[in-house]
Amino acid sequence: MKVIDFRLRPPLKGYLDTIMYSQGARRDRITGFHGMKPARSAQEQSVERLFSEMDEAGITRGVAMGRTSGPYGTVSNEDLAAIVREYPSRFIGVASIDPSDRRKAIAQIESARAAGLVGVNLEPGAYPRPLYADDRRLYPIYAYCEDNGIPVVMMAGGSAGPDLSYTVPVHVDRVAGDFPRMKLAISHGGWPWVHEILHVAFRRENVYISPDQYLCGMPGTEEYVRAANGYLAERFLYASSYPFLCASAYLAWFRTLPIRPEIMERLLYRNAGEFLGVSV
């Protein structure tokens, strides 16, 4: 069975400047909080070892999310496009934007798509000037994405902003309701607002949920799994959030969850392929 890991940031180019690689001790401590061991490839910053880990586990491709952040660092779309060009069988790239200028942001999206990136990743609370997901300044960008059929990924869970108010799912709920034809995937699965984000996905059928690392060892696992087995079967996106969790160890753990066998391929790759509009 194919596997798309919906959030996998390799040790390449600009990623190495973000704190997920430049602050390895912090990353490894977070890994331990999830009850997992660090990936050797992350500690060694070795993409070749990452490929070995992916191959051993059977992970077909990873979705390399772009990032334009103050506290967490930035990976340019140019770097991302270069990664995808160099390893087209390994990675799918999703662009990031600078939200401070709507015209520039839309130009970034256009350039990124021309360069082979397939969607837009927004991280509102992590921008140099943090925004709520339903900030008016993001609305022209949502409108552009909805009108042009561009899938939008949003980091809206975990430490996605300066404080917990940035992940309250009401912000996402408004965006999803105001742009009902825009496909919207929630990275970090809205955690810790587990019940609430699952309500958003219950009510808004354009919302996809990817709990990624927060599925593991954190409160709420059972609730995410129940939804995945039920109404979320076609909108749950598998992801490890590598390098925070080891992509291969996470997949082995994920396979132990009580998920209906007949939907496993939807969770592991088909939903991601449909969401991103790519064939795998």
- Per CB under 8 A, 58 contacts its own copies: no
Among 85, 104, 226, 260, binds its own copies (CB under 8 A): 226
Name the residue nearer to its own copies (CB basis): 72 or 191.
Answer: 191
Q: Which residues in 124-163 contact its own copies (CB under 8 A)? A: 158-159, 162-163
Give the residue carrying structure tokens 């709920």: 173
- Per CB under 8 A, 177 contacts its own copies: yes
- Which residue from 228, 238, 224, 191 is spatially nearest to 7, judged by alpha carbons? 238
Shortest Cβ 278–its own copies spacing (Å): 27
- Per CB under 8 A, 195 contacts its own copies: yes
Name the residue nearer to its own copies (CB basis): 16 or 168.
Answer: 168
Among 5, 53, 173, 212, binds its own copies (CB under 8 A): 173
- Interacting residues of 107 by C-beta distance below 8 A, sequence separation 6+: none
- Per CB under 8 A, 164 contacts its own copies: yes
- Per CB under 8 A, 180 contacts its own copies: no
- Per CB under 8 A, 12 contacts its own copies: no
Burial (CB < 10 A; 0-12, 13-18, 19+), residue 234, is: middle
- Per CB under 8 A, 32 contacts its own copies: yes
Name the residue nearer to its own copies (CB basis): 91 or 191.
Answer: 191
Return d(Cα 190, Cα 22) in angstroms, integer.
26
Return d(Cα 61, Cα 150) in angstroms, integer.
20
- Which residue from 10, 137, 26, 23 is spatially nearest to 67, judged by alpha carbons? 10
- Per CB under 8 A, 165 contacts its own copies: yes
Give the residue carrying structure tokens 């809206």: 156
- Which residue from 112, 185, 106, 187 is spatially nearest to 145, judged by alpha carbons? 106
- Per CB under 8 A, 37 contacts its own copies: no
Name the residue nearer to its own copies (CB basis): 61 or 188.
Answer: 188
